[in-house]
Amino acid sequence: MKNNRGFASDNNASVHPEIMQAIIDCNTGHAVGYGDDEFTRRARTKIRDEFGQDIEAFFVFNGTGANVVGLRNMTQSFHSIICAESAHIQEDECGAPEFFTGCKLIPVEAENGKITVDAIAPHIRGIDFEHHSQPRIVSITQATEFGTLYTVDEIREISDFVHHKGLLLHMDGARIANAAVALGVPMRAITRDAGVDVLTFGGTKNGAMYGECILFFKPGLTESFKYYRKQSMQLASKMRYISVQFEALLTNDLWKRNAGHSNAMAQLLAKRAGQIPGIRISRPVQANGVFAIIPEKIIKQLQEKFFFYIWDETISEVRWMTSWDTTEEDIIQFTDLIANLLK
């Protein structure tokens, strides 16, 4: 029988019971549509308690929507957006950022998904030259697509540079909770306090059902927000069902517990798998993703029991994602299977 558990993605996991309960609890009576309701106000209060009282927070349906609508409020169509060549907005959104903002995306080299000032700097050029897309945004991902992390200092270095050049810093935080927990800091330490201007604050990959949040730290960017969200088809009518999920995530540190658990599972997986001869952990394991180079011959059999994706076929590198619901048992079974297959 096919195992329905695996390491394919943290979005293959189910919804955390506390979040499900919050959804059930709010399911009574009427609520004004489109966000003008008590649940949404309560969620926003929780978010402000976490990130600061003067920020703006808006809910949308999904991660691509959060990134794109966030970027759209920061750009005009003749701008360019600099990001890692491996960024979700560059690789995994089917061109939605270009289509919806009209902007040019400029991918830069990024070892293990992290970009540096040195990689960004050469692309800050052609300023005021109408033939050239005008650099406007640098977008970084925390945790990165490789499960690696920017330190607070690294983010600060980038934000200082970006602001010095008159640009804005966007962060794709689909896994911001994993990052904060791994670094042992509050989420605001690696976002607002480190100079991030706009953040995609992800819920879905941390135990939610659907819904992401866009946080604007820099004032003055949201004047047209409500129109762009609606025009981009990201305004939920029964908003309360998104809002309560974020309220739940920010209640009793659920965001932290979920992220902490999935991070720990990644460490365990990396440790156990790394000890198996023939397996090489290929990237630093800092959040909830484990990358490994494994013998090609075992991939198919392994995937049949625990599904996961091949990252780079040319070097037989695979990606294993852990999630809030990954168990030690999962890890043990999985690594035992690897060991067995390699005997």
Considering only residues 299-318, where is the footprint of a second copy by CB under 8 A? 307
Tokens at 251, concatenated: 């209640």
Of 224, 204, 199, 225, nearest to 214 by C-alpha is 199
Give the integer Cα–Cα distance in Å for 330 and 342. Answer: 18
Contact criterion met (CB below 8 Å) for 66 and 202:
yes
The residue from 1, 54, 131, 184 that contacts a second copy (CB under 8 A) is 131
Give me the least distance between CB of 342 and a second copy, in Å please. 24
Contacts with 343 (C-beta within 8 Å, 6 or more apart), sequence order: none
Give me the least distance between CB of 31 and a second copy, in Å please. 6
The residue from 236, 250, 273, 302 that contacts a second copy (CB under 8 A) is 236
Give me the least distance between CB of 237 and a second copy, in Å please. 4
170 binds a second copy (CB under 8 A): no
**CA-to-CA dists, residue 285 to 103, 107, 141, 269, angstroms:** 33, 24, 15, 10
Query: Taking contact as CB under 8 A, which single stretch among the options 90-98, 148-156, 286-294, 332-340 is the one that binds a second copy?
Result: 90-98
Give me the least distance between CB of 154 and a second copy, in Å please. 25
Contact criterion met (CB below 8 Å) for 245 and 19:
yes
132 binds a second copy (CB under 8 A): yes
64 binds a second copy (CB under 8 A): yes
Closer by beta carbon to a second copy, 5 or else 114: 5
Of 13, 48, 40, nearest to 245 by C-alpha is 40
**CA-to-CA dists, residue 19 to 59, 63, 140, 240, 243, angstroms:** 16, 18, 28, 13, 11
Closer by beta carbon to a second copy, 173 or else 195: 173
56 binds a second copy (CB under 8 A): no
Give me the least distance between CB of 271 and a second copy, in Å please. 22
Radius of gyration over alpha carbons of the chain, in Å? 20
234 binds a second copy (CB under 8 A): yes
* Positions in 213-232 near a second copy (CB under 8 A): 224, 226-232
Strand order across the 104-108 sheet: 56-60, 212-216, 198-202, 168-173, 134-141, 79-84, 104-108
The residue from 1, 28, 53, 315 that contacts a second copy (CB under 8 A) is 28
Closer by beta carbon to a second copy, 96 or else 337: 96
Tokens at 142, concatenated: 């925390």
Please state whether beta strands 212-216 and 56-60 pair in parallel, antiparallel, or not at all (unpaired). Answer: antiparallel
20 binds a second copy (CB under 8 A): yes
* Positions in 279-298 near a second copy (CB under 8 A): none
Size of the site for a second copy (CB under 8 A): 74
The residue from 105, 244, 273, 318 that contacts a second copy (CB under 8 A) is 105
45 binds a second copy (CB under 8 A): no
Continuous H helices in 215-327 = 225-231, 240-249, 254-274, 299-305
